[in-house]
A = this chain, B = another copy of it.
Amino acid sequence: MAAQKPAHAPTPVPDRPHPDATRRSQRSRQAIYDAALALVAEVGYPKTTIEGIAARAGVGKQTIYRWWASKADVLLEAFLDLGEQAVRAAGEAAYAIPDTGDVAADLKVVLRATVDELRDPKFEAPYRALAAEGVVNEQLGREFVTRLLEPSLQLHADRLRAAQDAGQVRPEIDPRIGLELFVSPLAQRWLQHTGTISHAYTDTLVDYALHGLAPR
């Protein structure tokens, strides 16, 4: 879901930049990210343009084209940056799933944090706009998945693999499918408004997924 690996923002730094120039670039970049996220939240993906982002950020169109190939690129980087900011705000070095040895407890912590992020207004409107476009625009959807969603899903798969090594998950389980039992219900409730999301709800998902619906 929302959780992301640290972003690797492009670093189009010229040879030995003057410190002021680097700071100016950094300020412009942040203004462009903010403008892109605000605009897509307000008017949706199809009506968001490079021109509109430039005007709102107070930079020239060419500044954007120098750094990114398309509006999809700008938006994806803006989301990666938003994820990095959230990680820094939480005082963490990088987004990760804890491994305390108790897979249920660790997954609950992560899913609770995802619930909080999905409910954060700063995050919700632009993320919905991008997700909606991904439903009908397969190319954008796949890029969105490859760069934003799949890195986070792989962290969940890694945590399930560690649990397999620790004997807490059955060895024959495919971790990439297993994680969907607790990640996808949260995603569907949020995307399709099929139900409320809460910490109690995601705790329940983890328990059901680990222990199954059938009697033991």
Contacts and interface: CB of A to CB of B under 8 A. Distances in A.
B210 A210 contact: no
A173 B131 contact: no
Nearest to A141: B193
Contact of A184 (B128, B129, B187, B204): B187
> What interface size band does chain A fall in?
35 or more
A145 B193 contact: yes
A213 interface: yes
A27 interface: no
Nearest 4 Cβ contacts at the A-B interface = A212-B212, A180-B185, A132-B135, A184-B184
Interface of A: 44, 128-129, 131-136, 138, 141-142, 144-145, 149-150, 153, 160, 167-170, 173-174, 176-178, 180-181, 183-185, 187-189, 191-195, 201, 204-205, 208-216
